[in-house]
Structure 1
Amino acid sequence: MNNIIIRSASPDDMGKLLFFEQELINAERPFDPTLNESDVKYYDIDKMIASPDIELLVAELDGEIIGLGYARIENSKPFVKHVQYGYLGFMYVDPKYRGLGVIHKIIERLIVWTTSREITELRLDVYQANESAIKAYQKLGFTSHYIQMRKEI
């Protein structure tokens, strides 16, 4: 799969980006009982594409978008060592192309983008029950840092 191209998303990609957003939401529903049952939208994709502090990438194979992910520059809390960090999200690969290292390629490019901005730490959120995603991120060197807990009352 050396012919996978990683590039910045453009407004021309909007149809596929919106489709993948809904596919991601559907994939996360089993892990998150707090999601509304309909009309869920995670991202302002137009704003993401235009923002200088967000790099939204797509993976393309033979002219077809097969995956995507972004890095967003965030300000850290004043009591931590680094002033800013890169937050990764919108990580999704079409199920037909999973296991080919697509997310790995996207994250490698996002690391290049964040380090060019003098960012020294990346963070992301993943559902605790999403074991396949956790394993993929661990292969890339991510470790668990913080567990958020909830209780419905």
Structure 2
Amino acid sequence: MSTTNFILREATPNDLPILLQFEQELIKAERPFDITIREDPVSYYDIGQMIPDEDSYVVVVEHDGKIVASGYAQSRRARHYLDHEYYSYLGFMFTLPEFRGKGLNAKIIQALKDWSAKKGLNEMRLTVYDENGPAIKAYEKVGFKKHIIEMRLE
């Protein structure tokens, strides 16, 4: 499987059916890490609203005409005490299992970095479950560093 057969592009409304499937796969994969995720039906994002939103950038990777990976960046207002007013929040990072380990996440993150830079967003953040070792490793590989741990008490 040659990496030249992968095309990264901005998502369109026509991609919504497959992106909604990706969202459900992502939720299914994250359930073991988070007992507080509600029972189905549940949704993380309003992808249909994000695609045309100028403050969001949703991308997909195609292989032979089939969407195999996704991700988004979104401009968000930072907390008032931070040294930046806005930052780029990354999410919806999903790659079909048979396409993992091919550098697609790095390609997506690079595209999201480029979009963020054009928007003047110099700070990028994302959240990942502490127990999700493979995801943490992938993010660290492209330069992310652990920053804060969120804790909970029932």
Task: Specify the code of the residue in structure 1 equivalent to 2:117.
Answer: T
Secondary structure of the residue aligned to 1:89 is: strand
Q: CA deviation at 1:79?
A: 1.5
| Structure 2 counterpart of 1:100 | 102
| Structure 1 counterpart of 2:112 | 110
Structure 2 unmatched runs, 5+: none
| Structure 2 counterpart of 1:4 | 6
- One of 21, 45, 52 as aligned partner of 1:19: 21
Confirm or deny that 1:50 pairs with 2:29: no
5 Å-filtered alignment, 1:67-82, equals: 67-82=69-84
Secondary structure of the residue aligned to 2:138 is: helix
| Structure 1 counterpart of 2:90 | 88
Secondary structure of the residue aligned to 1:2 is: helix
Q: CA deviation at 1:150?
A: 0.5
Secondary structure of the residue aligned to 1:26 is: helix
Q: CA deviation at 1:80?
A: 1.1
| Structure 2 counterpart of 1:41 | 43
Secondary structure of the residue aligned to 2:74 is: strand
Provide the C-alpha distance between the structure 2 equivalents of 1:117 and 1:42, rounded to a whole number of angstroms.
24
Q: CA deviation at 1:38?
A: 1.4
Q: CA deviation at 1:77?
A: 1.5
Provide the C-alpha distance between the structure 2 equivalents of 1:22 and 1:75, rounded to a whole number of angstroms.
27
* Length-normalised TM-score, structure 2: 0.97
Give per-residue Cα distances to partners, 1:50-77, cap 9 Å, x unaligned: 1100000001011000000000001111
Q: CA deviation at 1:2?
A: 2.3
| Structure 2 counterpart of 1:149 | 151
Identical-pair percentage:
48
Secondary structure of the residue aligned to 1:50 is: coil
Q: CA deviation at 1:132?
A: 0.4
Task: Specify the code of the residue in structure 1 equivalent to 2:109.
Answer: I
* Length-normalised TM-score, structure 1: 0.97
Runs of 4+ more than 3 Å apart: none
Q: CA deviation at 1:81?
A: 1.1
Provide the C-alpha distance between the structure 2 equivalents of 1:151 and 1:77, rounded to a whole number of angstroms.
23
Q: CA RMSD in A?
A: 0.7
Confirm or deny that 1:139 pairs with 2:141: yes
